Amino acid sequence: MRLCGDLLRATGLFVLVVSLVACATNPVTGNREFVTMTQAQEIGIGRENHAAITREMGIYDDAALQEYVEDIGYQLAGQSQRPDLPWQFTIVDTPVVNAFALPGGFIYLTRGLMAYLGDESELVGVMGHEVGHVTARHSVQAYSRAMGAQVGLVLGQIFLPAMRSPAYGVPGLGDAAGQGLGLLFLKFGRDDEIQADRLGAEYATYAGWNPSGVGGMLTTLGRIADTTDRRGTPNWLLTHPQPEDRVTAISGTIKDLLAKDPDSSSLRIERNGYLERINGLVYGDNPDQGIVRGREFLHPQLRFALQFPEGWHVQNSPERVIAGESGRNNYMVLQFVNETGLNLRRIAEAEMIGAGFEVEQGIMTDVNGLEAYLGTYSQVVREFGTIIGKVVHIRLGSSIYMLGGFAPVTEYQAIERDITDSLTSFRQLTASEADMIRPSRISIYVVTEGDTWESLASQEGTNIVSASTLAIMNGYALEEEPILGDRVKIVVFE
């Protein structure tokens, strides 16, 4: 979560392109196919939703790394069947392991994915794969199917299932889920994925990289299944079919490409160069946007902390923090209120009424010495019945924050105590407390005699990551120990 812009306005970012159905030639296959948008409309959709993606996830703050990825992307796009698209390549600031593409040439990598790639050829493999989705118009086809049939968008993954309806939540949540991030969740079939793998390998080879990186990155991603977080922003395995069988499918293509290249030995892999590029990469939550530690959320820049109910899953994004109880329609949300003024009661009630809630009761109070307005609200929502919200609006310096818990009336009483405890846990961090909150980062380490993944995981005195995660991050099978003299990635406190 970060302080940025108007977090509550309706974005209106999606352009519903259903007015034009035409027959066009697929740039990759040469086949004629029905599409529901022109190339200009495709580019327009990508441009409009690029703003929503970067606002919701944030752009990773490393200009040199961004430039590095952009340069590789432009080289790959230049080898594609659609080099004239307005290609953009962006590292988004989220720890989730994923990469995705919007129509029109807008490609995204998460910094979480960057930590798991072993060399530059694997990075090229991922990027070439996503470029392939765009050039073969997979994203356009998936978008057309989703808009025509209203299926194929996993809209609720960024929040909780109950929040898929704009009416159930607080201002901005329904719109952000349904409008700002929908294209991120377009899913492709196995044939599309295999074609994108093949295209990625071809683009890599033509641009001077070893196509084996495609197989390497698929192998690593296949090992991540039991170690990555499946909540919040979807990881690779939620938006791409299982990669194991694709390793076999792409191996023949890689073999053919290497055999046809007269100087295949010169094709780049660039392990050491890649490791130097990501040395110092933030791993896990970025304190600039706040960090989750167990049930606690701390924001050193905005100087506050709070605790969510025990056992609830906490998902942080640049614009809001969501906590939810697995298998239930109960959730909590924390976000910035883009209103100022002296009358906190008026600001709080106006915001909730604007979101469709009725005010049941409210009282001015204080929370750990901070001025606050605590209110109870209700709203009738189809499929859920009456929803009860207990919400506190808190003034901290010149900012106002909204922290609320929401549940169907039939479940509210069972969690009211937990919600109340969370609402009253909001507190201001001292300067010294805030200064102590530092990010974890990738560090490059040369393996010495006796090192194991277990010993490397505990090198800082605390296990920031597990031994198995370190093995996977470095391209090793779980049963393999690090090789003496190998340069590997470890995770350390700053």
Residues 38-80 have pLDDT tens digits of 889 899 988 988 988 888 888 999 999 999 999 999 999 999 9
Res. 201: pLDDT tops 90 = yes
312 vs 244, residue with greater confidence: 312
Structure letter (DSSP) for residue 327: T
Q: Whole-model pTM above 0.85?
A: no
Q: Which residues contact 225 (CB under 8 A, 6 or more apart)?
A: 237, 242
Backbone CA torsion sign across 175, 178, 179, 185: positive
User: Which residues face 33 on adjacent strands?
Assistant: 24
Q: How confident is the model at residue 264 (pLDDT cuts 50, 70, 90)?
A: confident
Q: Which pLDDT score is estimated for 487?
A: 97
Of residues 74 and 230, more confidence is placed in 74
Which residue bears the tokens 């969510």?
308
φ, ψ of residue 225 to 5 degrees: the values are -45, -45
- DSSP code, position 266: G
Q: Closest Cα partner for 311 from 301, 326, 322?
A: 326
Q: Is the Cβ–Cβ distance between 399 and 371 less than 8 Å?
A: no
Q: Which residues contact 78 (CB under 8 A, 6 or more apart)?
A: 207
If pLDDT is split at 50, 70 and 90, which confidence band does 180 have? very low
* Count of all residues that appear for the chain in the document: 494
User: H or E element: which one contains 315?
Assistant: strand 313-316
**Helix (H) / strand (E) containing 432:** helix 431-436
d(CA 232, CA 292): 13
Q: Please give the distance of CA 463 from its chain centroid, rounded to a whole number.
A: 24
